[in-house]
Amino acid sequence: MTTKAYKILLVEDDDNIRDILCEILKDEGYEVVPSVDGQEATEILQEKSFDLLISDFRMPRMDGAELLEWCRKHKIHFPVIFITANANLMPSENLALNDCCAALLPKPIDIEQLMAAIEDAKNRDHDRNCKQ
């Protein structure tokens, strides 16, 4: 009996971070599709569905908050883990967290913390815990 792979869309503009996270997540058995920014992610989301979004918050062209807004506008709902280098939360990060995001993790990324956040996202009742 085969189980369906848990699909993650990873959106990160830093090539090194994106490559390392992709490798780690794939080694953990996840199906990962990388994206360089929110704009590219919207193009991918029009073609494929995902179980989880892991996204940097500050990116060129379309940042994490704009990506989340685009997803909700297009009726795409899944847990979201944001990663950010900004120690002080900006208002948009706080708004995003109120939109049922699973976690906001600081950079540099603690891999154990990321894996715990993914497990939490997998185990939560997203429909019940989500405002929209």
Q: What is the CA radius of gyration of the chain?
A: 14
Topology of domain 7-123 in CATH is Rossmann fold (3.40.50)
pLDDT of residue 132: 43
The pTM of this model reads 0.86
**Residue among 51, 58, 103 at smallest CA distance from 81:** 103
Instruction: Show pLDDT as tens, one digit a residue, over the chain (132 residues).
Output: 446 789 999 999 999 999 999 999 999 999 999 999 999 999 999 999 999 999 998 888 898 889 988 998 999 988 999 898 875 655 555 555 555 566 888 889 999 999 999 998 888 755 544 544
pLDDT of residue 128: 47
What are the two backbone dihedrals, phi and then psi, of residue 33, each rounded to the nearest 5 degrees?
Answer: -115, 120
d(CA 39, CA 14): 15
d(CA 66, CA 72): 10
Strand partners, 104: 82
pLDDT of residue 58: 87
pLDDT of residue 85: 84
pLDDT of residue 30: 97
Within a 13 Å sphere around the CA of 4, how many CA atoms are in the beta-carbon half?
7
pLDDT of residue 87: 56
d(CA 86, CA 39): 21
pLDDT of residue 126: 55
d(CA 111, CA 120): 14
pLDDT of residue 98: 58
- Residues 6 or more apart whose Cβ sits within 8 Å of residue 7: 30, 31, 32, 33, 48, 49, 50, 51, 52
Going from N- to C-terminal start, the domains of the chain cover: 7-123
pLDDT of residue 63: 87
